[in-house]
Amino acid sequence: MTLRNALFGLYAVACLLAMTWPGFAHFGNSIEPYVLGLPFSFVWVIGWVLATFVALVVYHNTGERED
């Protein structure tokens, strides 16, 4: 297992915990404050989805190429 895979695995677990029970219940489970007119709980989930997308793009682009 490479360091790249281990770091991505840890990040994936952190995202899972942030979007499910201990993270969402303690940090993201509130309506206020509103962010750009959206409830904070919605922004919390959208933020983690976008962060996961960026992490996947970085993970893909830093991999070895088969050319």
Q: Is the pLDDT of residue 1 over 80?
A: no
Rounded to the nearest 10 degrees, the angle between the axes of helix 3-19 and helix 40-61 is 170
Place of tokens 């840890």: 10
Q: Which helix (H) or strand (E) holds 13?
A: helix 3-19
DSSP reduced 3-state for 38: strand
Tell me: the pLDDT tens digits for 5-35?
999 999 999 999 999 988 899 998 888 999 9
Mean pLDDT of all residues belonging to the chain:
92
Q: Is the pLDDT of residue 43 over 80?
A: yes
Across residues 41-65, what is the average pLDDT?
Answer: 93
The model carries a pTM of: 0.84
> What's the CA gap between 18 and 66, in Å, rounded?
34
